[in-house]
Amino acid sequence: MLPTLFDETPVKGNWKYEVKYDGFRGLLLIKSQEEIQLFSRNGNDLLPQFPEIHDAVLKIIEEDSWTLPVFLDGEIVLLENDFKSNFGSLQIRGRMKTKENIQKASELNPCSFLAFDLLQSSGKRMTSMAYSERKKELSALFRKAGLPLEVNYGSSARIQMIPSYRNSNQVWGAVRHLDGEGLIAKSEESVWEEGRRTTTWRKMKNWKRAKCFILSHDNSNGYYEVGVFKEKEVIGIGAFYFGISPEEKQALNSIIKENAYQEEKGKSYVHPGLCVELNYLEWYEDQLREPHFHQFLFHEKPEECTWIQFMLDEASLPEPVEVTHPDKPLWESPAIDKLQYIRYLRNVSPRFLSFLKQRPLTVIRLPHGMYGESFYQKNCPDYAPDFVKTVRLENIDYILCNDLETLMWLGNQLAIEFHIPFQKIGSAYVNEIVFDLDPPSRDYFYLAVKAATEMKKVFDQLKLISFIKTSGNKGLQVYIPIPDGYTWKDTHLFTEFMANYLINQFPDDFTTEGLKKNRNNRLYVDYIQHAEGKTIIAPYSVRANEDALVSAPLFWEEVKEDLRPEKFTMKTVLERLKKKGCPFAAYEEVKERQNFREILSFLQSNQRKLQ
């Protein structure tokens, strides 16, 4: 059963709305441990490509959660956030051939099966039931197995459910902010009809808009090549075919034929002159993905179709935010301008915001980039727009960066570094334990690697799940998320114990000496920094240093001798997210699995004995 493309959500009738994920459509049939099938629309066997989904099904069977057979309709995705799948990386995964590469990819950046429909349960066919009834049965099935009833990027569950919403506005805003593909509207009365494209299921795409000009027409296949100006150079951005009516196509072909300056290999070339607006899904591998003609721009001049405007439009910035002076240079080497920085913040925002939310924010601003002075900003300025929320603590109005609008406004203000406390507002407890491993310089970065490696050995023995990131400068920072209920006094007991352990084991390499002159080129284990009122650089924040490094989350297997902080720039961090996913993805989920209560009881008992 396939949806029909519509421009707008339906007005009449009883409709429910689901997020449309950009993945591989898949039908999952579970009969027994030996009979599990996952096949595509064309009937191709997909299960060998996704062993993580196979393992998740086996776990459900072993726990006897469902009465089989069960038949699910859904989407195979590689999630970037709760509302978006990374289709490019999923395609790479789908083309892998060797079992070794497939297994490695499934462990490093696992895919998920997102179920949106139930076709059979306990052997009973449900395709003739109304959509609303099938959805209720699907929810009950997932609830019984303890599986997520909504999509959660940070969940380790490889089988999740796509929920439905009554109000399209409830979910459309999130799809736009998180750069999702679109929505599906489904009639509550609709039955499931195999192989049919129906108007009882309607898809609405989250189109981006591109203003560009015609460059050529390929007479052999009908495609029109388009481009924009990057300063005085013409840059091709792709080609379109769909969306233009026969009448518009005929008129456009006549204009191109009359104005062509060159005919070669079936192509007619024209100088920039005729402007058009296209709809497209994403800018992927330097090409427009799924471009569709939207309208002619007869009143636009080609000079107005610029690379800067194209990149700003592609970023899908929130409407209240205006980017001023996007071409302002911020770093000299590497050459980075304000537009590139804004686009980094936009692209990393789903992960970045998850760490900034509900935390009083301190930023370092560089109004003139690395070419001018910097300053700390704690107080929200008077000129901040109304959508910027604040919290008052100790006579300071701190900004709460809880949403995309605030993040992008801060980016336009050239807030470069984002520093956050270890405690969220409204909570009396500590959110995480963090160790700042600070070597004397980047030349001694190997000491940070050694300290982190030794700490990981201890954490593993204590059954504590830990995470690690670069500081974005010369050190590393180790995180242990903990459940609610622990005070600063509790966490201090643990951080002091770990710091003393490292120093006792390696006195020539590590120290807790506060004065730099007394450290003698040893790494400073800064456990004092983990305290009430103190802050640390947020994961994914850029640093205000000359090489524009990022405080980048790492996978523990990357923490070895050849690790260097210089590897983690805005460009490479975004590439890592697309190819590998976020190393901190499970950060919130692991809190309840931490063995911290038992460890703390042991330390408290020892402390009492010493007293």
**Domain end position, chosen among 314, 343, 371:** 314
> Does one domain contain both 7 and 147?
yes
Q: By CB neighbour count within 10 A (0-12 exposed, 13-18 middle, 19+ buried), where does 95 fall?
A: exposed
Same domain? For 370 and 443 the reply is no
Q: What is the pLDDT of residues 284-306, one digit of tens each?
A: 888 999 999 999 999 999 999 99
Choose between 333 and 559: higher pLDDT.
559
pLDDT tens-digit map of 401-441: 999 999 999 999 999 999 999 999 989 999 999 999 999 99
Angle, alpha carbons 420-426-430 (nearest 5°) = 55
For 39-49, what is the mean pLDDT?
A: 93
pLDDT tens, position by position, 78-103: 999 999 999 989 999 999 999 999 99
Model confidence at 313: pLDDT above 90: yes
Q: Is 20 a catalytic residue?
A: yes
Q: Please, which pLDDT band fits residue 465 given cuts at 50, 70 and 90?
A: very high
Query: Both 181 and 278 in a single domain?
Result: no
Q: Which residue has the tokens 């406004």?
A: 409
Inform me whether the pLDDT recorded for 263 exceeds 90: yes
Instruction: Give yes or no: residues 437 and 567 share one domain.
Output: yes
Instruction: Tell whether 489 is covered by a domain.
Output: yes
Question: 607 pLDDT exceeds 80?
Answer: no
Q: Which of 20, 208, 211, 450 is catalytic?
A: 20
* pLDDT at 284 (0 to 100): 86
pLDDT given for residue 605 in this prediction: 85
Residue 152 has pLDDT above 90, yes or no: yes
Asked whether 361 and 423 are in contact (CB, 8 A), the reply is no
- List the CATH number of the domain containing 452: 3.90.920.10
**Residue 322, domain member (yes or no):** no
Question: Which DSSP symbol is given to 518?
Answer: G
Distance CA 147, CA 165 (A): 19
Please tell me whether residues 145 and 47 are part of one structural domain: yes
What pLDDT, on the 0 to 100 scale, is given for residue 554?
A: 98
The last residue of a domain, from among 190, 216, 233: 190
% of the chain at pLDDT higher than 90: 91
Tokens 């983690």 found at: 568
Are both 119 and 174 inside the same structural domain? yes
Non-local CB neighbours of 569 within 8 Å, separated by 6+ positions: 334, 547, 548, 549, 550
Give the pTM: 0.94
Identify whether 605 is part of a domain: no
Task: Give the model's pLDDT for residue 610.
Answer: 61
Residues 182, 272 within the same domain: no
In a domain, 245, yes or no: yes
Do the domain assignments include residue 480? yes
Q: Give the integer Cα–Cα distance in Å for 365 and 451.
A: 32
In this structure, is the dihedral angle defined by the CA atoms of residues 501, 503, 507 and 510, taken in order, positive or negative? positive
| pLDDT of the residue at 157 | 96
Structural domain of residue 504, as residue ranges?
432-536+548-598
Q: What is the 3-state secondary structure of 60-101?
A: HHHCCCCCCCEEEEEEEECEEECCEECHHHHHHHHCCCCHHH
CA dist., res. 103 & res. 100, Å (int): 5
pLDDT of 609 strictly over 80: no
Residue 291 shares a structural domain with residue 369: no
Q: Which of 249, 281, 314 is the last residue of a domain?
A: 314
DSSP β-ladder status, 467-470 and 476-481 = antiparallel
Both 218 and 343 in a single domain? Answer: no
Same-domain check for residues 358 and 270: no
How far is it, in rounded angstroms, from Cα 206 to Cα 203?
10
The CATH code of the domain that includes 37 is 3.30.470.30
Within-domain flag for 148: yes
169-184 tens-digit pLDDT? 889 999 999 999 999 9
Q: What is the CATH number of the domain that holds 282?
A: 2.40.50.140
The answer to the question of residue 508 being in a domain is yes
Same domain for 288 and 390: no
Give the model's pLDDT for residue 11: 84
Q: How many domains does the chain have?
A: 4
Are 357 and 449 found together in one domain?
Answer: no
Which has more pLDDT, 41 or 134? 134
User: Per-residue pLDDT for 142 more than 90?
Assistant: yes
Distance, in Å, from the CA atom of 111 to the CA atom of 581, rounded to the nearest integer, reads 10
Question: Is 603 among the domain residues?
Answer: no
Mean pLDDT value across residues 155-172:
94
Mean pLDDT of the chain: 95
- Asked whether residue 611 carries a pLDDT value surpassing 60, the answer given is no
